[in-house]
Amino acid sequence: MENLNTTPLPRIGDKAPSFEAVTTQGPIRFPEDYAGRWIILFSHPSDFTPVCTSEFMTFAARSDEFEALNCQLVGLSVDGLYSHIAWLRTIRDKIVYRGMQHVEVRFPLIADLRMKVANLYGMIQPGESSTSAVRAVFFIDPDATIRAVIYYPLALGRNFDEIKRVLVGLQTVDRFNVALPADWHPGDEAIVPTASSSAAAEERMTRPDEGTQCYDWFFCTRPLPQEELEEVPVQ
């Protein structure tokens, strides 16, 4: 029999579930406090652990890159506020990693001892751990819609170049009405939306738009110059 008390996992295309929480930057209402911005909501298993420490140092050291993309970072674990504060002070005062040191974590870190938010967002996955959040990453757009989700297990640290690539890719899709191919990076060609009728397919093959390269009716690309991508507007 279906468990009616089970909270379904938030999915791509869903509105981001709302909650209120205490964080290292004060109380927040999520996602309302960040209306009009992109949000990356991410969870980590535990304070004072080495993989999580490396991730927080990397996110903090690169936070200006995400800020420039109109993106708010919000972290979470099922530790308490005082543990969070002590851990972030330890990161700032003692930890050196890959040339990073004296790193100040200025984005909010949610205290979630009762696992309320972690369960709301499907960050507790019992097959991996029933007492710690996995490494989940939710990409939420300025309309508070979930646009992408990535889950990592406890032992595997995240790839931050990929996290930034996903964010830039989503913004690019929205601005230029394109799709993006495998291994796309800013400056690469994008995929033109597939023709929606036989007539459109025929015209695309015989009279393609300037700059468009069609390999067949369903597979056409066009360039998006680097300087054009760098002008992606904030919303």
The separation between the first and the last C-alpha atoms of the chain, rounded to the nearest angstrom, is: 45
Helix (H, G, I), strand (E, B) or coil at 219: strand
Q: Is 52 a catalytic residue?
A: yes
Secondary structure (DSSP) of 106-161: -S-EEE-TT-HHHHHTT--BTTTBSSS--EEEEEE-TTSBEEEEEEE-TTS---HH
Counting DSSP H helices and E strands in the chain, the numbers are 7, 10
Give the residue among 34, 55, 39 at the shortest CA–CA distance from 97.
55
H helix runs in the chain, sequence order: 50-61, 63-68, 81-94, 116-120, 160-176, 198-206, 226-229
Structure tokens of 27?
């109380």
Compute the chain's Rg from CA coordinates. Answer: 20
Phi, psi at 223, each rounded to 5° = -75, 150
Check 52, 71, 214, 220 and give the catalytic one. Answer: 52
Structure tokens of 217?
């009716």
The answer to whether 158 is a known ligand-binding residue is: no
Q: Which amino acid is at 31?
A: P
Which residues are tagged catalytic? 52
- Annotated binding site for substrate: which residue ranges? 135
